[in-house]
């Protein structure tokens, strides 16, 4: 799948612009459409009120002089007190309408952002892994995080352009109405809008900081998605992931809405300052002769109202350029093929009889290895070894029922199993891939992700089993130890021990560890796997490793040669050996 990166300087074709506008409009729900319509009406009202205020300001600046309407003076009150009240009412209406307009825009953008994030995340959670084989983790993480920001910023840019267009149309109409000639001679006053003005406050800094933190949390939820999806799906934690992702997404929506409100306030201040500056300039220009000075001032004020939009309009068009490829990438993943629905996992726990896989051949392009006569027995460890690139991970993807093979034939207790039946049988699983890292904030959250509401005693017990108790004892906050804290960053081996603790808490029917203990030294890896066998006597344990020494504790060793050929060696261990192995594991 292609990248969403695009040069902001690249021209957008005319048909592409209409396609983009249609695509952005399709993201709006009925409630959003009503808000956009209200936004347009309020923007028009604000433009009329602002232009009226500019015209009413003229006789207050230049007493006794009224702007001309054609060849006749504009019919305004002559009493200064009445004029002041009309001006105050016009400015009050303008400010209130602009404030409500900004609020409507913020709600439209915030709701669109929440829906887009939740929709693409839910789609990817339910995606067929085969549909993601050509996707990179970075691209998926981008599609789930910043890419959505680019799209919603494009929606915000459209709303800003709508506001600018309405304000410009009304101001030019008023200016042309007052004096067509002065409309052409006074646009130089628009240069006032080039003065940079920024308003920063504590709230803006705090909102920005929290927004960045939420984006970081969202990225952690999205990092290395294909591998994490195996873990999520095997632990049947899809709903928990959707809820957690939705909470962060809602927080981002609130932050984005507040950012927009603060930006709108800053723009209002800038516009008022620009109007005040132009009023001073026009007072000096009042010395000119041969031109109706009241009309001069009115046209200058009307055109001066457009100065804040000069810089923002170019920025808004640039945002639209960036939103086009971002929307395309978002649509691509929203349309990804879903996983085929399977029956729920067995209610009575792990199968008590072995699963005999008679024949298994991977789908293209991995046509090898071809597996025959593979026994998967509860309480036993199957070790899979072989050089890199021979298909070990592709094979365990099939064994974990994550991807569908080209050929599959098996039976259990004399019952024939097609792949869908096998997938249903091993639905309660645990799949830990190499390189996967816990994305939760603390040790407690990491374990509660698997076992919500588990007591601290149970959590401490399982952590002791995997050799994490010593690290926990040295931490001041115990189970609330942060996984990525500046003073508590865990090593790769410690993070892998936490993942093993999740597997034990899960008590799966099938546990697949694809080089999931590679960060441990050889002796620690052996002890950890022995502990898993002891703690999970009803679990089929499949381990992929490059360490052939693990064959000493394996009940079955499947080795894949470079040419794709395969050998399976079974070791029938006496019951006493298994108890002895358990005693070794107890020392962890």
Tens of pLDDT, residue by residue over 361-418, are 888 666 667 888 999 999 999 999 988 888 888 899 999 988 889 899 999 888 899 9
Note whether residue 122 is domain-resident.
yes
Which of 334, 368, 395 represents a domain boundary (last residue)?
334
Q: What's the pLDDT score for residue 209?
A: 62
Note whether residue 451 is domain-resident.
no
Q: Are residues 363 and 324 in the same domain?
A: no
Note whether residue 347 is domain-resident.
no
Note whether residue 119 is domain-resident.
yes
Q: Are residues 512 and 407 in the same domain?
A: yes
234 has pLDDT over 70: yes
185 has pLDDT over 70: no
Query: What are 477-512's pLDDT values in tens digits?
Result: 889 988 876 666 788 888 999 999 999 999 999 999
HEC string for 359-374: EEECCCCCCCCEEEEE
213 pLDDT band (50/70/90 cuts)? low
15-29, 245-259, 538-552: range with lowest mean pLDDT: 15-29
Q: Are residues 380 and 263 in the same domain?
A: no
346 has pLDDT over 50: no
For residue 556, what are the CA distances in angstroms to 384, 532, 542, 547? 9, 16, 9, 15
Query: What are 149-168's pLDDT values in tens digits?
Result: 888 988 998 898 888 888 88
The CATH number linked to 203 is 1.20.1560
Q: Are residues 214 and 151 in the same domain?
A: yes
Note whether residue 461 is domain-resident.
no
Q: What's the pLDDT score for residue 65?
A: 63
**Span 108-133, average pLDDT:** 88
Q: What's the pLDDT score for residue 450?
A: 93
Q: What's the pLDDT score for residue 314?
A: 62
Q: What's the pLDDT score for residue 202?
A: 64
Q: What's the pLDDT score for residue 455?
A: 93
Sequence-distant (6+) residues with CB within 8 A of 279 are 57, 61, 297, 301
Bigger pLDDT: 433 or 4?
433
Q: What's the pLDDT score for residue 294?
A: 66
In 3D space, the residue among 156, 190, 175, 168 whose CA is nearest the CA of residue 39 turns out to be: 156
Burial of residue 286 (number of CB atoms within 10 Å: 0-12, 13-18, 19+): middle
Q: What b/e sequence results for 37-69 when a residue is b if at least 16 CB atoms lie within 10 Å of its CB, and e otherwise?
A: eebbebbbbbbbbbbbbbbbbbbebbeebbbbe
Give the span between the Cα atoms of 164 and 172, in whole angstroms. Answer: 12
Q: Are residues 322 and 365 in the same domain?
A: no
**Mean pLDDT score of the chain:** 78
- Residue 548 backbone class (left: φ over 0; alpha: ψ -120 to 50; beta: rest): alpha
**Span 234-250, average pLDDT:** 88
The CATH number linked to 549 is 3.40.50.300
Q: Are residues 76 and 223 in the same domain?
A: yes
Burial of residue 24 (number of CB atoms within 10 Å: 0-12, 13-18, 19+): buried
Note whether residue 444 is domain-resident.
no
171 pLDDT band (50/70/90 cuts)? confident
121 has pLDDT over 70: yes
Measure CA 436 to chain center: 19
Q: What's the pLDDT score for residue 584?
A: 33
Note whether residue 221 is domain-resident.
yes
**Span 469-475, average pLDDT:** 85
Q: Are residues 168 and 49 in the same domain?
A: yes
Percentage of residues of the chain with pLDDT beyond 70? 73
208 has pLDDT over 70: no
Q: Are residues 119 and 217 in the same domain?
A: yes
Q: Are residues 389 and 299 in the same domain?
A: no
**Span 517-526, average pLDDT:** 89
Q: Are residues 272 and 320 in the same domain?
A: yes
Total tally of structural domains belonging to the chain: 2
Query: What is the residue range of 386's domain?
Result: 355-428+508-585
Q: What's the pLDDT score for residue 367?
A: 60
Which two three-digit tokens encode residue 307?
Answer: 């100065």
Q: Are residues 85 and 209 in the same domain?
A: yes
449 has pLDDT over 90: yes
Q: What's the pLDDT score for residue 307?
A: 67
**Span 94-99, average pLDDT:** 90
Note whether residue 414 is domain-resident.
yes
458 pLDDT band (50/70/90 cuts)? very high
Residue owning tokens 């902001």: 8
Query: What are 64-79's pLDDT values in tens digits?
Result: 666 655 556 666 666 7
Taken as a whole, the chain contains a residue count of 588
Q: Are residues 307 and 377 in the same domain?
A: no
């Amino acid at each position: 799948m292609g990248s969403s990166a695009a040069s902001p300087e690249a021209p957008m074709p005319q048909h592409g612009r209409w396609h983009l506008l249609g695509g952005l409009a399709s993201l709006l729900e009925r409630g959003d459409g009503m808000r956009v319509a209200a936004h347009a009406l309020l923007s028009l009202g604000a433009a009329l009120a602002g232009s009226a205020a500019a015209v009413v300001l003229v006789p207050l600046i230049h007493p006794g002089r009224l702007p001309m309407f054609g060849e006749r003076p504009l019919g305004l009150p002559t009493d200064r007190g009445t004029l002041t009240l009309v001006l105050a009412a016009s400015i009050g209406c303008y400010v209130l309408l602009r404030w409500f307009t900004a609020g409507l825009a913020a709600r439209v953008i915030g709701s669109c952002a929440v829906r887009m994030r939740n929709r693409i995340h839910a789609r990817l959670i339910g995606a067929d892994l085969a549909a993601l084989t050509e996707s990179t983790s970075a691209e998926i993480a981008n599609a789930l995080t910043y890419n959505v920001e680019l799209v919603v910023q494009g929606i915000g840019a459209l709303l800003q352009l709508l506001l600018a267009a309405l304000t410009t149309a009304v101001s030019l109409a008023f200016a042309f109405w007052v004096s067509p000639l002065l409309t052409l001679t006074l646009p130089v006053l628009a240069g006032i809008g080039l003065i940079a003005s920024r308003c920063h406050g504590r709230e803006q800094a705090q909102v920005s900081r929290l927004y960045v933190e939420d984006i970081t949390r969202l990225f952690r939820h999205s990092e290395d998605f294909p591998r994490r999806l195996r873990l999520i799906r095997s632990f049947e934690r899809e709903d928990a992931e959707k809820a957690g992702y939705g909470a962060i997404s809602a927080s981002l929506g609130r932050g984005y809405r507040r950012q927009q409100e603060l930006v709108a306030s800053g723009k209002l201040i800038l516009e008022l300052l620009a109007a005040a500056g132009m009023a001073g300039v026009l007072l000096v220009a009042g010395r000119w002769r041969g031109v109706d000075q009241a009309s001069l001032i009115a046209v200058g004020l009307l055109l001066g109202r457009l100065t804040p939009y000069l810089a923002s309009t170019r920025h808004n068009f640039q945002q639209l350029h960036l939103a086009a490829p971002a929307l395309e990438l978002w649509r691509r993943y929203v349309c990804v093929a879903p996983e085929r629905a399977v029956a729920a996992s067995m209610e009575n726990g792990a199968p008590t009889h072995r699963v005999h896989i008679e024949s298994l051949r991977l789908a293209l392009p991995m046509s090898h290895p071809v597996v025959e006569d593979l026994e998967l027995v509860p309480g036993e460890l199957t070790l899979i070894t072989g050089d890199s690139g021979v298909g070990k991970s592709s094979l365990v993807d099939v064994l974990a029922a994550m991807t569908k093979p080209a050929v599959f034939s098996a039976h259990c207790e004399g019952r024939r199993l097609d792949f869908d039946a096998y997938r249903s049988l091993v639905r309660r699983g645990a799949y830990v891939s190499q390189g996967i890292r816990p994305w939760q904030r603390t040790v407690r959250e990491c374990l509660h992700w698997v076992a919500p509401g588990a007591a601290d005693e149970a959590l401490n017990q399982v952590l002791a089993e995997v050799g994490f108790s010593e690290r926990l004892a040295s931490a001041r906050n115990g189970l609330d130890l942060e996984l990525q804290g500046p003073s508590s960053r865990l090593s790769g081996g410690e993070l892998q021990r936490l993942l093993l603790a999740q597997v034990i808490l899960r008590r799966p029917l099938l546990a697949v560890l694809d080089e999931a203990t590679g960060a441990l030294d050889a002796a620690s890896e052996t002890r950890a796997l022995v502990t898993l066998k002891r703690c999970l006597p009803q679990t089929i344990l499949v381990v992929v490793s490059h360490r052939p020494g693990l064959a000493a504790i394996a009940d079955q060793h499947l080795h894949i040669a470079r040419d794709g050929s395969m050998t399976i060696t079974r070791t029938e261990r006496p019951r006493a050996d298994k108890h002895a192995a358990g005693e070794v594991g107890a020392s962890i």
